[in-house]
A and B are shown apart, each in its own frame.
Chain A
Amino acid sequence: MNFLQTLNEAWKSLYSNRMRSILTTLGIVIGVAAVIAMLAIGTGAQDTILNQISGIGTNLLFVFEGNEQDNSITVSPLTLQDANAISEVLAAPHVELVAPVIQGSGTVKYGGETKSTQIFGITPEFQEVRNYELIEGEFISEENVNGRASVALIGVDVAEKLFGQSEYLTGESITIDGQPFRIIGVLAPKGGGQFGSQDDVILVPLTTARSRLLSREQGKVDIIYLKAISADSVPEATSEVQEILRKRHHTDLGEDDFTIYTQQDFLTLASSITNIFKIFLSGIASISLLVGGIGIMNIMLVSVTERTKEIGLRKAVGAKKRDILIQFLTESSLLSLFGGILGIVLGWIISFLIGSLATSQGVAFNPQIDLGAILLATAFSTAVGLFFGIYPANKAANLEPVEALRHE
Chain B
Amino acid sequence: MGEVEVPALRGVTFKINNGEVISIMGPSGSGKSTLMNILGCLDRLTSGEYTLDGEDVAGLDDDQLAQIRNQKVGFVFQNFNLLSRSTALENVELPLRYAGTTENPSKLAKKALENVGLGDRTHHKPTELSGGQQQRVAIARAIINNPAIILADEPTGNLDSKSGKEIMDLLLGLNKEFGTTLIVVTHDPKIAKHTARTIQIFDGLIKESKK
Contact = CB atoms under 8 A, between A and B. Distances in A.
Interface of A: 1-2, 5, 12-13, 16, 309-310, 313-323, 400-402, 405
Given A5-B97, A323-B98, A401-B42, A317 B85 contact: no
B170 interface: no
Contacts of A309: 81
A1 B86 contact: no
Contacts of A316: 40, 42, 69, 75, 81
Contact of B85 (A16, A313, A315, A400): A16
Contact of A317 (B86, B94, B100): B94
Nearest to A323: B98
A170 to B, nearest CB: 82
B199 interface: no
A2 B85 CA distance: 19
Nearest to A322: B63
B62 interface: yes
B141 interface: yes
B126 interface: no
Given A1-B98, A316-B40, A316-B42, A12 B66 contact: no
Interface in B67-97: 67, 69-71, 75, 77, 81, 83, 85-86, 94-95, 97
Contact of B66 (A313, A320, A402): A320
A400 B43 CA distance: 8
A314 B81 CA distance: 10
B71 to A, nearest CB: 7
A13 to B, nearest CB: 7
A66 B15 CA distance: 102
B75 A317 contact: yes
A310 B83 contact: yes
B158 interface: no
Interface of B: 37, 40, 42-43, 62-63, 66-67, 69-71, 75, 77, 81, 83, 85-86, 94-95, 97-100, 141, 145
A12 B98 contact: no
A317 B95 contact: yes
B86 A12 contact: yes
A91 B94 CA distance: 88
Contact of B67 (A13, A318, A400): A318
A405 B42 contact: yes
A279 B85 CA distance: 45
* Max chain A C-beta neighbours (<10 A), residue from B69, B86, B97: B97
Contacts of A12: 85-86
A318 B95 contact: yes
A317 B99 CA distance: 9
18 contacts: A1-B100, A5-B97, A12-B86, A309-B81, A313-B81, A314-B94, A314-B98, A315-B69, A316-B81, A317-B70, A317-B95, A317-B98, A318-B69, A320-B98, A322-B63, A400-B43, A401-B43, A402-B37
A257 B29 CA distance: 97
A13 B85 contact: yes
B85 A318 contact: no
Given A2-B97, A322-B63, A405-B42, 10 more contacts: A1-B97, A12-B85, A13-B85, A16-B85, A317-B69, A318-B67, A318-B71, A319-B66, A319-B98, A402-B42
Nearest to B43: A402
A333 B48 CA distance: 43
Contacts of A321: 62-63, 66
Nearest to B83: A310
A96 to B, nearest CB: 76
B112 to A, nearest CB: 13
A229 B86 CA distance: 77
Nearest to B95: A317
* Max chain A C-beta neighbours (<10 A), residue from B37, B40, B75, B81: B81
A298 to B, nearest CB: 22
Contacts of B83: 310, 313
Contacts of B98: 1, 314, 317-320, 323
Given A1-B100, A402-B43, A405-B42, A320 B67 contact: yes
A400 B65 CA distance: 12
A400 B67 CA distance: 15
Contacts of B100: 1-2
B92 to A, nearest CB: 10
Contacts of B71: 318
Nearest to A397: B62
* Max chain A C-beta neighbours (<10 A), residue from B63, B66, B141: B66
Contact of B99 (A310, A318, A405): A318
* Max chain A C-beta neighbours (<10 A), residue from B42, B63, B77, B86: B42
A318 B43 contact: no
Q: Which 6 A-B pairs have the closest CB atoms?
A: A318-B70, A318-B98, A317-B95, A313-B81, A320-B63, A320-B66
A160 B99 CA distance: 82
Contacts of B63: 320-322
Contacts of B70: 317-318
